[in-house]
Structure 1
Amino acid sequence: MRYSTTHKQQTRQKLLESSGALAKRGGFAATGVAGLMKAIGLTGGAFYNHFPSKDDLFTEVVRRELSSSPIAQQPMNRARLERCLDQYLSMAHLHNVEGGCAIPTLGAEIARAELPVRAEAEHWLCSLQHAWTQTLEDPDLAWALLSQCVGALLIARMLASEPLQEQVLKASRDFITGALHEAP
Structure 2
Amino acid sequence: MRYSANHKMETREKLLASSAVSAKKSGFSTVGVDGLMKAIGLSGGAFYSHFSSKDELFKAIVERELAQSLDRLSGDGAMDSMKLERCLKQYLSMSHVEQPEAGCALPVLGAEIARSDVQVREAAQTWICRLHESWARILGSDSLAWAILSQCVGALVVARMLVTPQIQRDVLKSSHVEISRRMAEQGLD
Deviates more, 1:61-70 or 1:1-10: 1-10
C-alpha displacement at 1:92, in angstroms? 1.1
Gaps of 5+ in 2: none
SS at match of 2:100: coil
User: Where does residue 121 of structure 1 map in the other structure?
Assistant: 124
CA distance in 2, matches of 1:31, 1:125: 25
Equivalent of 1:169 in 150, 169, 172: 172
Of 144, 149, 152, the residue aligned with 1:149 is 152
In 2, Cα distance between equivalents of 1:170 and 1:74: 28
**Structure 2 CA distance, aligned partners of 1:73 and 1:101?**
15
* Aligned partner of 1:133 among 136, 140, 149: 136
Q: 1:72·1:127 contact (CA, 8 Å) conserved in 2?
A: no
Structure 1 residue matching 2:7: 3-state secondary structure: helix
Quick one: distance in 2 between partners of 1:28 and 1:115? 17
Query: Cα offset for 1:73?
Result: 2.1
3-state SS of 1:131 partner: helix
- When structure 1 is superposed on structure 2, of 38-47 and 4-13 the one drifting more is 4-13
Counterpart of 1:5? 5
RMSD of aligned C-alpha atoms?
0.9
Work out whether 1:98 is the aligned partner of 2:101.
yes
Q: Which residue of 2 aligns with 1:14?
A: 14
Task: Provide the C-alpha distance between the structure 1 equivalents of 2:111 and 2:74, rounded to a whole number of angstroms.
Answer: 20
Structure 1: unaligned runs, 5 residues or longer:
none
Question: What is the alpha-carbon distance in structure 2 between the residues aligned to residue 150 and residue 133 of structure 1?
Answer: 17
- Tell me the distance in 2 between the aligned counterparts of 1:72 and 1:49: 34
The 4+ residue runs of structure 1 with deviation greater than 6 A are: none
TM-score normalised by structure 2 residue count: 0.95
Query: Residue by residue, what CA displacement relative to the aligned partner does 1:67-96 show, whole Å, maximum 9, x if unpaired?
Result: 011113232100000000000001011111
Identity of aligned residues (%): 54
Q: Using structure 1 for the length normalisation, give the TM-score.
A: 0.98
